[in-house]
Amino acid sequence: MSFKVTSAQFAMIDIALVEPDSASLRQNIDEAALKNLVNSIRKIGVIHPLVVQSANLSGRHIIIVGERRWRAAVLAGEPSVPAMIRTCHISEVMDVQVAENMGQGVRAALEPREMANAIQTISERFENQEAAAEHFGGTHAWLKQATAAASVNLSPKISALLDSGRIASAGTAIQLEKLSRKNNAKADYLIGQLEQMPDGENLTKKTVDNALFEEGGRRKKRDAATPLAVTDIAENIVVAADNTAQIPERNWINPGKVKRVAHFLGLPNGNEAEVLTRLIDAFLLMKEEGSEMF
């Protein structure tokens, strides 16, 4: 009997009676990302039920999908987990795991504006931004970035492109709005190019940043004897990224520091390029708001 037609039974199962599949496709679990899931489960519990095999002779259920949720629930101290109990032949287990992890119709992420609005609404329940950020397991800087699309007044055209996914991120939308105010014709040209792109492609922040850099002109030369302020260093990073300058070799960057910054920003994999992109986004957002943090 195929998995598709097997009956399913929902139950809250003693967490001690659930165990991972030794042959599961998932062999590596990111610890930083798992901590975020643990934090979520401690606050609101396991949202999506696991899918497990019917109990074996020892009364234990083998996980078909949901091992990360189970591990996080263990770390969160949950006594039981919600699960759909189904019989799955060994020949179909991998098919089910692949379909689940590819997200084929299982669920779709909220659009950037929708997510930003939701996070903003939840944040307003707390007495300050630090408490709100802690609720989400992030930092104050992360919260500002996550709610950026909700706090900036975007034009209807740019807002529609962001909501449709044609603009890569809220940070890109904010930069495009800034470009539109400086040079509407150039912004319209980028939007026109975007509308001609094939489905699935979107406007990246790097493209908009390049246009903004060209619009603003080159920065004035500084006296070499004058130490650069932290603001200047951050701006130099943005300019270097805009000009697609070559990033120094990996041994120039301390991997431990990159990992720590990634953790503070809520980035689970610690990828240097992703960390740099998020730092640039945060810096530009602070500049937009006139923050004195840098």
**Residue 80: strand pairing partners:** 14
Q: What is the pLDDT of residue 248?
A: 43
pLDDT of residue 229: 47
**Least confident interval from 17-21, 23-27, 55-59:** 23-27
Q: pLDDT (tens digit, 9 = 90+) per residue, 149-207?
A: 776 677 888 888 877 777 777 778 888 888 888 888 888 888 888 777 777 677 777 78
Query: To the nearest whole number, what is the mean pLDDT of the chain?
Result: 77
Instruction: State how far the Cα of 71 lies from the Cα of 55, in Å rounded to an integer.
Output: 19
The whole-number average pLDDT for the span 76-85 is 96
- Per-residue tokens: 123: 């944040």
Mean pLDDT, residues 45-69 taken together = 93
- Report percent pLDDT > 90 for the chain: 21
Which residue has better confidence, 228 or 212?
212
**pLDDT tens-digit profile of 39-49?**
889 999 999 99
Q: Which domains does the chain have, with CATH numbers?
A: 3-102 (3.90.1530.10), 218-294 (no CATH)
Residue 103 is predicted with a pLDDT of 65
pLDDT at 288 over 70: no
163-to-78, 101, 116 alpha-carbon distances in Å: 37, 24, 11
Give me the sheet containing 50-52, strands edge to edge.
Answer: 9-14, 80-85, 50-52, 61-65, 18-19
Instruction: Give the number of other CB atoms < 10 A from CB of residue 217.
Output: 7
For 292, what's the count of Cα atoms within 13 Å in the CB-facing half-sphere? 0
> Given this model, what pLDDT does residue 10 score?
96
- Regarding predicted confidence, which is higher, 193 or 9? 9
- Position 163 scores a pLDDT of 75
97-100-105 Cα angle (round to 5): 150
- pLDDT tier for residue 11 given thresholds of 50, 70 and 90: very high
Percent of the chain with pLDDT over 70: 75
For 267-283, what is the mean pLDDT?
72
